[in-house]
Chain A
């Protein structure tokens, strides 16, 4: 029992590192620089300039923080779905599904490095905000902000696992990724005050990851204490767990259906 647990932990970590290198197609210096450094900076500049033009310079921090935390979705959505869906393109699915590997360790391990990568992305976004756009972080508790970023990146990656499992069904990774990423730009509250949205849209917003993370980060940077955002973060964490479980169920369902229909190798 204990030995089996150790082997599954090993599978989780080794799978995390090797699947990141093997399947994350942006893991080359030019692609990484373009997609994880330059593109996020462009997004941020665009939305900050547009937002402050529409609502005034005093709201700059709203857009800087929102778009920085949104960067968690770059890794959580694009990275994680590539690491799940990439097996279809490499033709490795039949070999994976014929192993006795614990499917949960295999599945969740695919997201682990992307969580770390996502944290780096959010900090990079905040760094651009501070150095280029004058974001004031003087009242921020860095430890609490780090916890917020960790939980938000975790929940977003959990959502990415669900999308990754979905991409196995749809066979089109980028279609799923792009649609969800840009919908999140609206629904997460990164660039809109959620109270301006119709009620049904707000319901969607609060059932997604990121929304509470962005709201919490704004509060922490403006000087709120951890206790004020603890309920938001608790729910954000649970949302992440829920999406992981949904993704895992979908992954297992895909495995069963593909074996039944003989579609494991279909590209």
Chain B
């Protein structure tokens, strides 16, 4: 099929870079490609995979959500607080997701009803959600000792729970994206919002629903993160939204016309996770890591966007 092939072509460089990085890391430390570390990779990447999928959906609609990191934080806190106050684990998970849904619904209202620019609305609301996180925790991480809540770190045989849940959730989002009207309306809003409205689709509602959905998904990811860390930290989510955006861009999604897809984001997540994990494994001083990762991500984005700009120019020339 033609569309799929061009899509693969587009994210090919990311794939090769990832592969190259894996080899390099393995050269410096043979531990990198050990079973133990691969399991680690999955555990570390799983949460980002889910958040990045949510972020991709929003970006495909020509939107942006800078509040995802704060939603991740806040929902982790509410779920840990409820499990610590004696709620069953299932209820705690539900509360975490509900927190995300409410956060997303507020964001969605600002953007689709009040027509605020997405980046301003989500930047402002980010402050509010972090603020609430700080208030709830009084700026200190809350630990949890509940053994059934920390399920995310467990394993089924060799399979880490994290990988199962992360990949499962990602596939579910992929299903929503490709197989439900909602998923298709995301692309439609990004590609031709007014035309879609003229075709009889309630684009305003679906836009609101998109941010709500992204919030809910991130809420779930927040619970998973808290479960893995066995704690809820009020600043744990700082910067996650940018990792999610970077993964989206590296996965071949552009900011315009609903071009791109959710599947490629997995590759972006893999690259970011490999970089983060690899730097650890080869014992890069931890103090260097944020700067290195930030620089690598910026350069990767510039290359990816630059390459895709060149290929679009070529496409344009071939057209009659």
Q: Are A and B interaction partners?
A: no
